[in-house]
Structure 1
Amino acid sequence: MNTVSTLPFSISRLPAFNDNYLWLIDDGRRAITVDPGDAKVVKNALIERDLKLDYILTTHHHGDHTGGVSELQAEFGAEVIGPDSTNIPQVTQTVNDGQMIELLGIAFTVITVPGHTLDHIAYFAPASNALGQPLLFCGDTLFAGGCGRVFEGSFAQMRHSLDKLKVLPKDTRIHCAHEYTQANLNFAKVVEPNNPVLTQRIKIVSEQRANNIATVPSLLADELATNPFLRYDKTAVIAAASQRLNKKNLVGDEVFAAIREWKDNF
């Protein structure tokens, strides 16, 4: 367990499987977990910190995000919050776009972000004395340096979902669910080889990973400067997509689709 924030609320990153991050938020007594794919990992963290699990937040139905929900729900009686999806039958409170929920005194706003899956949602909490910087739990929609594959939705849906996230405060901490950053940035460098901010970020991330240091959470400001899936409207990214397809005058959805398919085969 790696604690990444220690104000009145602690936010801990729980490594699981090969490259997943599960998340735990606690006030020293009670806890919220986000996308608990592995119940044992979460239970060990709860025991270590002597915490009671009150809430489980789910972003989408994939097993590496929901695999531990039933066991944790049964053992702790936690309320399970998530999208209105038949694929997550354990959900006890469904939430919708723009809905605000208060958990342990933290006000989260729900943002629907279909694309990776049709039921995908994210949870945003604004800056506060208790949390410090604003934070986002976005599952597999926005990654550090990249975005999730489009499995169920359309490229246009995914682009629109990311557009909803890119307008959040620039100091928002992005708590995504996988350690994909180095590979994502290697692709980004092919798309934008002359981006100096990207070059510097790759250097920093390479050093972090060489020392087994996590690169998540990231800052939205860094994503806006280096993540090609948030930069599909930038001249260099449009040019790269056009060259890839050998086609001129690409517009937003076409650019986004081109770089997403490019990344799928990278």
Structure 2
Amino acid sequence: MTLELITIPCRSDNYAFLVHDAATGETALFDAPETAPIKAELDARGWTLTDLFITHHHGDHIEGVDDLRAAYGCRVVGGKHDAGRLPALDKAVEPGDVLSFAGHEVQVFAADGHTIGHIAFYMPDAKAAFTGDSLMALGCGRLFEGTPEQMWGTLSRLMALPDDTLICSGHEYTAANARFALSVEPQNADLIHRAEQTTKLRENGEFTVPSLLSLEKATNPFLRAGLPEMKKAVDMEHDGDAEVFAAIRRAKDNF
């Protein structure tokens, strides 16, 4: 495997991600919250940015796009259905499209919910999904534009990826998300352990992102909305999965 994945902290709590192919020298960036830390990482490693993939239009994911394009001449890729709110795109993509980066597949997933037109990218060779503000570490994005049904569809698609997929999400929200998750499933042993580990990581100034999909499925309350034990925990044993998800999302919004 020639791919290297680098997590870059940006702004106050954002993350961007670099994927570098050593065989070709090509480097891809997923989301561009700001210019300086991304450029510093590239320059320190002697890498040239060739591709820039955007998940959605919010400023804390696209602020650095134009500066980085000017500096490196990279190809900018984003969702066709969100193109009117994104920086100029060299390649507009739709869910179901498959792109090539340095000879590796990049699959495009619909990820509506947080926004309409949000997309996620999955690179099988890197075993990584770049989910922006859809599926997040111990959480999911607030529903600013989409419906609970749309977000549940997004999460269901992402849950179908292999369990060893790294979920590369856009923010360091894990500690706050853990506090909410424990209020919903206080007896979940995996969740208790993850919350403890999260506290230790943050106390040491370490990242909690990316995270394994298998860990999210065991601990993230939003992914667990379809499970009998979660439905029992929220007293919704006879409700549909999307309805349970919607109730958990409302509870988080008011937590």
Q: TM-score range by the shorter chain?
A: over 0.9
Aligned counterpart, 1:220: 213
Query: Could you list the runs of 5+ residues in structure 2 that have no partner in the other structure?
Result: none
Query: Structure 2 matches for 1:1-266, cutoff 5 A?
Result: 8-28=2-22, 29-84=25-80, 85=82, 86-126=84-124, 128=125, 131=126, 134-242=127-235, 249-266=238-255
Q: Does 249-258 or 137-146 show the bigger shift?
A: 249-258
> Do the aligned residues in 2 keep the contact of 1:144 with 1:216 (CA within 8 Å)?
yes
> Is contact 1:192-1:236 (8 Å) kept?
no
Provide the rounded CA distance (Å) in 2 between the counterparts of 1:251 and 1:163.
14
TM-score, structure 1 length as denominator?
0.90
Displacement after TM superposition at 1:248 (Å): 6.9
Contact 1:69 1:90 in 2 (8 A): no
Question: How far apart, in 2, do the equivalents of 1:51 and 1:39 lie?
Answer: 15
1:3 match: none
Aligned residues: 251
CA distance in 1: counterparts of 2:158 and 2:73, whole angstroms = 32
Name the TM-score, length of structure 2 as normaliser: 0.94
After TM superposition, give the deviation of residue 75 of structure 1 in Å: 2.1
Greater Cα shift, 196-205 or 165-174: 196-205
The Cα offsets for residues 32-81 of structure 1, whole Å up to 9 and x where unpaired, read as 11101101221111111111111110000000100010111122211100
User: Any idea what the Cα deviations from partners look like across 1:120-152, whole Å, max 9, x if unmatched?
Assistant: 1011111x4xx3xx1100000011111010001
Q: Which runs of 5+ in 1 are unaligned?
A: 1-6
Q: Alpha-carbon deviation of 1:213?
A: 1.1
1:250, distance to aligned residue in structure 2 (A): 2.4
Identity of aligned residues (%): 40
CA distance in 1, matches of 2:3, 2:15: 18
1 CA distance for matches of 2:238 and 2:162?
A: 31
The one-letter code sitting in structure 2 at the alignment partner of 1:18 is S
Q: Give 1:27 shift.
A: 2.5
In 2, Cα distance between equivalents of 1:43 and 1:201:
32
Displaced runs of 4+ in structure 1, greater than 3 A? Answer: none
Kept after mapping to 2: 8 A contact 1:81/1:94: yes
Distance (Å, rounded) in 2 between the aligned partners of 1:203 and 1:248: 29
